[in-house]
Amino acid sequence: MTGKLDLDPVLVARARELARRAGQPVVDLARSHTTVSVERAVLRLAGVTGADPDGIPWVNRLVDAVVADVGLGHGVAVPVFDALAREQISDVTLLAQKAAAGSVRFAVPSGKAATAARRAARRAVGAGVRLVDRRRAERDRLVKRYGDPARRPWIYLIVATGDIYEDIPQAQAAARAGADVIAVIRSTGQSLLDYVPEGATREGFAGTYATQENFRLMRAALDSTSRELGRYVRLTNYASGLCMPEMATLAGLERLDMMLNDSMYGILFRDINPIRTFVDQRFSRQVHARAGIIINTGEDNYLTTADAVEEAHTVTVSQLLNEFFAHEAGLADWQLGLGHAFEINPDLPESFRLELAHALLARELFPDAPLKWMPPTKHMTGDVFRGNLLDGFFNLVGAMTGQGILLVGMMTEAVVTPWLSDRDIALQNVRYVLGAAGGLHEDFVPAPGGFIRQRANRVLGEALDLLERIGDQSLLTAIAEGTFGIMKRPADRGRGLAGVARHEADYYNPATEILEGGRA
Amino acid sequence: MTVAAEKRIVRPYGDTTGDGMVQVSFTLPVPHDKRAEGAAVQLANKMGIDPAMLVHAKPMSDGFTFFVVYGRVNHLVDLSAVQVVERDFPLLSAKEVNAVVKQRLRRKLSVVGACIGTDAHTVGIDAILNVKGIAGEKGLEYYRELRVTNLGAQVSVPELVEAARRERADAVLVSQVVTQRDAHLHNTREMSAAFREAMPAGRRPLLVVGGPRFDETMTGELGVDRIFGRGTTPGEVASYLVHALITNRGAGA
């Protein structure tokens, strides 16, 4: 503890222990199930690329073909590499094409054939993981060469035109104007697609489709801008929705630097099946850990649906759960961009002090995590003058509490997608506050026994109460009963449930084996 | 005679009645120099601002300049000529919707939503139904007194009718984005015909369709109760449902 809030270390340890107890049954569940998206991610690591003429990726066609013959519970790696040997084909994508045409049958081999298939699968997937390793080493090299931003927080800006070729110059302009991190928002509804679209895309709804080619194009463009600016500009996308494991894998293969990846967002806000989400999430986080990607969690979303004062403790609980799941999957503290937001009604008396208390609580609880600080959205009314003032106070809280990643707030939030001038004014706001008060966190220590300390301790207490209540009944029950947000999401409902299977005794996943075991 | 009716002609107010002062900001795709400033004044003049005071000019990005202009606008506003299209139902907050349903219906209001036909674009129906909602406004799932069943994409009409029956739907919401060969119109007609066939008039749920390319006046032709066009928010849909199913029931239909 750095001790600015005088938090009781016994209570903090207790909160972590309770989060572990709530999360462990979910981890056990994730370890004993697989999903179509996990298996597709394995095939992507094994080298299956491209899509059929209708745009359905070959990984989908291949997984569907395997599932039709032998089901999902054995994993697809062994049946696929067994078929590869029998058909005497060396290219997995070619096998996918043949399988889609119906000319290959899959089986679950035993004995020598099974051993050989496992070995071949592990070799192919190992090559994919080594590619991810190389990308990570490449990032380390480029960060060393161009350097990190001179100060914290990193300035995070969103680009979203729907057209990747329009996004690129906008992203480069944003980086030149001071953005350290560029996030490309996805097209609305992509999270509910059970496949990853292919190729460069030029039309999306309120965002740009996340595809491997779009990732590659944007990363290459930002590499050239990094060179020009002498500062490594990071790229962010979304590992959420039904294709979380594949998104994580593609991000690792194309050297994305951050990914949005929340443990419960898809369940609560997209009605994705809870088991599907937790299984997908664990695999995606293992990939992120390996790829050196920083995850951003989505606690800000709770506050846009619920009251930011009354429900402040649910943010803390979710952060603790996200931390537990992340550590369990192998992520280090520096990779945990735990989220929180400036969403208290500005008309409430002392709203700024409450914001400070909440933001500092997160900082003190997770001293080594690069917290992601999210701007006001709920109370942005279209009054752009008031909005700009509110964003200034948001930036000030960020500076006073040492946040790691600051998403730039737009005064035109809820009015239009940001104009060029809106972005410029927003960045001017950030630059002023960080320039004038960037080091204020060194001086800012709330008075002992004062309002801020009392409030922070109270929120921690409420978080403990909620964790105690979740306690022995497991997180799945709590989610089913509507503990988070107000949505009841039972484990046997929701999207993507059909793509979940319990492991058979001979389930084999070479990717998990490598990611949990170390060497590729 | 009211004050408003007396005062038919008004001008913008800066600090004196009738001064006509306004403030505008805009960006021009030109680098900042004297010519750019002249261009900004020219635009302001064409907007009816004369004299125009250029109070701020700032280069932005590559080859753009942002301007703030204050000045006197020479247009007049004739209040008697103002025309507005009124919504025919009151816009309620989520709280108010919940309260009306709870007090007057005394059970949850059941809503079934889907994208029908081959349309896989759930953008519209999700924006209206999902908690996440759209533009900061929460979807219908967020309303405690609504029971929402979102069937998702590519739902067949028989499946939709069956789900509506099973869920005892008070309202069915259908979203149609794809308009190739008028698919949205065909699908909607097929849907309304199926409900007419499957259920007697009094038992039929309220049929609502939405999508960016619908003409909101075509309800009769398509056999539905209401059409919502581009930019509709969940709050508007919820308010309409409460109006049509509860507060206005018996009054009109």
Q: Tell whether B56 lies on the interface with A, counting CB pairs under 8 A.
A: no
Which tokens hold the place of A242?
A: 């039904």
In a domain, residue B85? The reply is no
Which of B21, B54, B80 corresponds to the end of one domain?
B80
Which chain B residue shows the shortest CA-CA distance from A266?
Answer: B132
Residues of A in contact with B40 (CB under 8 A): none
Alpha-carbon gap, residue A133 to A138, rounded angstroms:
9
Note whether B31 and B65 are within 8 A (CB).
yes
A298 CA to chain B: closest CA distance, Å?
12
Query: Across all residues in chain A, what is the average pLDDT?
Result: 94
Non-local CB neighbours of A257 within 8 Å, separated by 6+ positions: A139, A181, A234, A235, A236, A293, A294
Which of B80, B106, B140 corresponds to the end of one domain?
B80
pLDDT of B253 over the 50 cut: no
One domain for residues B113 and B184: yes
In a domain, residue B253? The reply is no
**Residue A300 appears among annotated catalytic residues:** yes
**pLDDT tens digit sequence for A217-265:** 999 999 999 999 999 999 999 999 999 999 999 999 999 999 999 988 8
Interface test with A, best of B132, B155, B175 (most A CBs within 10 A): B132
Which chain A residue shows the shortest CA-CA distance from B65?
Answer: A421
Q: Which of A410, A334, A414 is nearest to A368 (CA)?
A: A334
Alpha-carbon gap, residue A461 to A248, rounded angstroms:
35
In a domain, residue B69? The reply is yes
Average pLDDT (A298-308) is: 80
The terminus-to-terminus CA distance of chain B in angstroms comes to: 37
Q: Which domain holds residue B161?
A: 94-247
- CA B137, distance to chain mean position in Å, is 12
Q: How many CA atoms lie within 13 A of A156 on its CB side?
A: 28
Question: What pLDDT sits at residue B69?
Answer: 98
Note whether A166 and A187 are within 8 A (CB).
no
Work out how many CB contacts closer than 8 A connect A with B: 60
Average pLDDT (A285-292) is: 98
One domain for residues B150 and B201: yes
Q: Which of B46, B58, B95, B132 is catalytic?
A: B132
Q: Tell whether B38 lies on the interface with A, counting CB pairs under 8 A.
A: no
Q: How many CB atoms lie within 10 A of CB A121?
A: 28
One domain for residues B74 and B99: no
CB contact under 8 A, A188 and B127: yes
One domain for residues B105 and B226: yes
- CA B237, distance to chain mean position in Å, is 9
One domain for residues B204 and B237: yes
Beta strands B206-210 and B226-228, pairing class:
parallel
One domain for residues B66 and B154: no
In a domain, residue B181? The reply is yes
In a domain, residue B252? The reply is no
- C-alpha dist (Å) from residue A144 to A157, A215, A227, A232, B86: 23, 22, 12, 9, 61
Average pLDDT (B221-228) is: 93
Q: Which of B101, B27, B96 is nearest to B60 (CA)?
A: B27
Q: Which of A257, A300, A391, A422 is catalytic?
A: A300
Residues of B in contact with A424 (CB under 8 A): 58, 60-61, 66
Q: Tell whether B25 lies on the interface with A, counting CB pairs under 8 A.
A: yes
- C-alpha dist (Å) from residue A155 to A178, A372, A374, A398, B129: 7, 10, 11, 11, 33
Beta strands B9-10 and A234-238, pairing class:
unpaired
Q: Tell whether B150 lies on the interface with A, counting CB pairs under 8 A.
A: yes
One domain for residues B127 and B59: no
Rounded to 10°, the helix A351-365/A451-470 angle is 60
In a domain, residue B57? The reply is yes
In a domain, residue B31? The reply is yes
Query: Across all residues in chain B, what is the average pLDDT?
Result: 88
CB-closest option in A269, A420, A495 to B131: A269
Residues of A in contact with B147 (CB under 8 A): none
Angle subtended at Cα A338 by Cα A333 and Cα A341, rounded to the nearest 5 degrees: 155
Taking the model in full, what pTM does it have? Answer: 0.84
pLDDT of A427 over the 90 cut: yes
Alpha-carbon gap, residue B101 to B84, rounded angstroms:
30
Report the C-alpha dihedral over residues A178, A181, A187, A191, rounded to 10 degrees.
Answer: -160
Alpha-carbon gap, residue A149 to A287, rounded angstroms:
25
**pLDDT tens digit sequence for A15-57:** 999 999 999 999 999 999 999 999 999 999 999 999 999 999 9
- CA A224, distance to chain mean position in Å, is 25
One domain for residues B104 and B39: no
Three-state DSSP class for residue B90: coil
Average pLDDT (A378-386) is: 87
Interface test with B, best of A421, A425, A427 (most B CBs within 10 A): A421
Looking at this protein, which amino acid is placed at residue A378?
K
The CATH number assigned to the domain holding B76 equals: 3.30.30.60
CB-closest option in B64, B126, B135 to A420: B64
Residues of B in contact with A419 (CB under 8 A): 27
Interface test with B, best of A166, A186, A269, A429 (most B CBs within 10 A): A269
The CATH number assigned to the domain holding B214 equals: 3.40.50.280
Which chain A residue shows the shortest CA-CA distance from B177?
Answer: A205
Alpha-carbon gap, residue A172 to A183, rounded angstroms:
12
pLDDT band at B151; cut points 50, 70, 90: confident
Average pLDDT (A482-500) is: 84
Which tokens hold the place of B223?
A: 């056999």
DSSP state of B52: E
Which tokens hold the place of B120?
A: 């896989």
- CA A286, distance to chain mean position in Å, is 12
Question: What pLDDT sits at residue A485?
Answer: 63
Question: What pLDDT sits at residue A478?
Answer: 87
CB-closest option in A268, A419, A495 to B131: A268
Question: What pLDDT sits at residue B180?
Answer: 67
Interface test with B, best of A191, A192, A228 (most B CBs within 10 A): A192
A35 CA to chain B: closest CA distance, Å?
20
Q: Which strands form B49-60's sheet, in the order they lie side by side? A: B21-28, B64-73, B49-60
DSSP B78-93: EGGG---PPPSS----
**Residue A265 appears among annotated catalytic residues:** yes
- CA A484, distance to chain mean position in Å, is 19
Average pLDDT (A486-501) is: 88
One domain for residues B134 and B13: no
**pLDDT tens digit sequence for A404-420:** 999 999 998 867 778 88
What percentage of chain A exceeds 90 in pLDDT?
A: 82
pLDDT of A482 over the 60 cut: yes
Question: What pLDDT sits at residue A1?
Answer: 42
**pLDDT tens digit sequence for A335-372:** 999 999 999 999 999 999 999 999 999 999 999 999 99
Average pLDDT (B135-145) is: 86
Does an H or E element contain B73, and which?
strand B64-73
- Greater confidence (A380 vs A283) lies with A283
CB-closest option in B60, B121, B132 to A424: B60
DSSP A247-266: HHHHHHHTT--EEE--SSHH
Residues of A with CB under 8 A from a CB of B: 173, 176-177, 188-189, 192, 205, 268-271, 301, 304-305, 377-378, 380, 413-414, 419-421, 424, 485-487, 495
Q: Which of B63, B60, B65 is nearest to B43 (CA)?
A: B65
Which chain B residue shows the shortest CA-CA distance from A189?
Answer: B123
Average pLDDT (A75-93) is: 96
One domain for residues B202 and B160: yes
CB contact under 8 A, B61 and A177: yes
Among all chains, which residue has been given the structure tokens 């001008």?
Answer: B11
Rounded to 10°, the helix A510-517/A274-291 angle is 50
- C-alpha dist (Å) from residue A240 to A124, A245, A266, B194: 26, 8, 7, 37
Does an H or E element contain B110, and which?
strand B109-115
Before B51, cis peptide (omega within 30)?
Answer: yes
Does an H or E element contain A82, and which?
helix A77-87
Average pLDDT (B196-208) is: 92
pLDDT of B5 over the 70 cut: no
pLDDT of B135 over the 70 cut: no
Question: What pLDDT sits at residue B250?
Answer: 61
One domain for residues B160 and B40: no
CB-closest option in A270, A305, A420 to B27: A420
pLDDT band at B252; cut points 50, 70, 90: very low
Burial tier of A368 (Cβ tally within 10 Å: 0-12, 13-18, 19+): exposed
- Greater confidence (A514 vs B215) lies with A514
Q: What are phi and psi of B137, to 5 degrees?
A: -105, 130
Beta strands A372-374 and B49-60, pairing class:
unpaired
CB contact under 8 A, A271 and B150: yes
In a domain, residue B135? The reply is yes
One domain for residues B73 and B118: no
Among all chains, which residue has been given the structure tokens 């919820």?
Answer: B238
Alpha-carbon gap, residue A185 to A175, rounded angstroms:
16
Question: Per the structure, how many domains does chain B have?
Answer: 2
CB contact under 8 A, A424 and B62: no
Which of B20, B50, B80 corresponds to the end of one domain?
B80
Alpha-carbon gap, residue A133 to B136, rounded angstroms:
39
Which chain A residue shows the shortest CA-CA distance from B62?
Answer: A173
